[in-house]
Amino acid sequence: AAGTVVAGAAGLIAWQQGLFGRRRAAAGNSVAVLPFVNLSGDEKQAYFSDGLSEELRATLARSSRLQVMAQASTATFRDRKDDAVTIAEKLGVAHLLDGSVRRSGNVVRIAADLIDGQTGFSRWSQTFDRAMDDIFAVQSEIANTVANALVAQVSADGEPGGALAAAGGTNSVTAYDAYLRGRALYGLGADEATERAALAQFDAAIAADPDYAAAHAMRARSLTTIANQYGAVGQLAALYDAAIASAERAIAIAPELAEAHSTLGFTLFQGRLDARAAREPFERSREMGAGEATVMARYAQYSARTGQRGEATQAMQRALLLDPLNPLIHRAAGSIEYAARNYADSIPPLRKALQMNPRMSRANAAIGDALLMLGRLDDARAAYAAEPVEDFRLAGEAIVEHRLGHAGQARAAMAKLVADHGDRVLYQQAQVLAQWGELGASIERLQRALVVGDSGLVYTRNDPLLDPLRGDPRFLELLNSLGFD
């Protein structure tokens, strides 16, 4: 076990030094499913072609014998500006599955093409003309044919029903359509109205098919997102309870659905603030979701926050391999290094995330935290100033200005943080007060944060900004109440 941990850590260090960025031979069982082109003549139908390609990707990813690139990375090639060989090289895969969808009324034509990433030539292609009622059979047929071409089987018996059960799917076209619409809205992450519109679509999918496990899992994710980003203090408990109930329902219907276990673990950890209860579903998600980058990234972050450094490193390596062009994955990699107090090593992946998405939230603040810990105060100040999320920016400014001896500016930033965000940011207030040396007030804010359910508390165990509190018995009691061993 110790050898595995050391090897995992060495692998992540190699990635940080850029070794993983160099061209390497793609594994023969690796494949990327590109977003299928919408040929329906109606831009509003794009959700269906996108959803179908993602369902195919998810079906293939459930095979332990295939290495399937995550959706976020493949989506960067939606416009097909590069040729197939270039796309395969950039993604690091041996094969591409490309295709198009033309939907007219109740009839859908799906063209699929499996391309050799080294030559750019087609290995297999087929066109399917089906009624919408047959969409699930077509989806399974394409996935199984591609898997066979890569010398693997998606499901144990090779039948569509096996893949459907593993996916927690449905036989209702109405439910499936609502589910795809909901996922398209959820993927936008635009604002509260969009998130609630996505939730309404998942509710519609469940109304059409109450046993649609994937829809229950997505409903749980949607509720958790609404709680995390938009929930008022008094609404959080009800939102998290509803999310947990939906995730548990998904697991009851489809016990092998890794996304449901991952969502349950995430909500128990960040919503219920119960690290102990979250461990079992997170471990189950790791066992069943090795082909899903987001599942691996969530597990990695949970492991980092609970002190499981080796597990965090290995899971993050897997997530980076499956989704190398996703800025969220790189931001998560940075957070794992910061949690391990490898401050200098946390900065490159965070900068990589910002390179991919200059408007990404919390990345600049995370760089500021690392620079603060390294004693580079002027650089930390600049990083905080670039943070688009106000509460993270103000908390960072209140700390760094105090370190620089600018008491007035520090107090002004703290006053604005409290005035603008109140009890929603009790955890950040505690960080500031701990760094100011006002330890009693910091403990009091953390205790209040526990009462209102502030999800920031998941960082408590290894947050260096709270180090001044670690000898206080009240702080140790808080850690125990959060389930940190």
42-59 pLDDT, tens digit each: 787 888 888 888 888 887
Are 69 and 30 within 8 A, CB to CB?
A: yes
Q: What is the pLDDT of residue 161?
A: 39
Residue type, 375: G
CA distance 157 to 32: 24
pLDDT in tens, 301-328: 999 999 999 999 999 999 999 999 989 8
Q: Quick one: which of 128, 112, 98, 103 has its CA closest to 40?
A: 103
**Mean residue pLDDT across the chain:** 86
CA distance 58 to 436: 48
Q: What is the 3-state secondary structure (H, E, C) of 319-339?
A: HHHHCCCCHHHHHHHHHHHHH
Q: Residues of the chain with pLDDT > 70: what percent?
A: 90
Q: When comparing pLDDT for 60 and 348, which is higher?
A: 348
Average pLDDT over residues 141-145: 74
Q: At residue 162, does pLDDT exceed 60? A: no
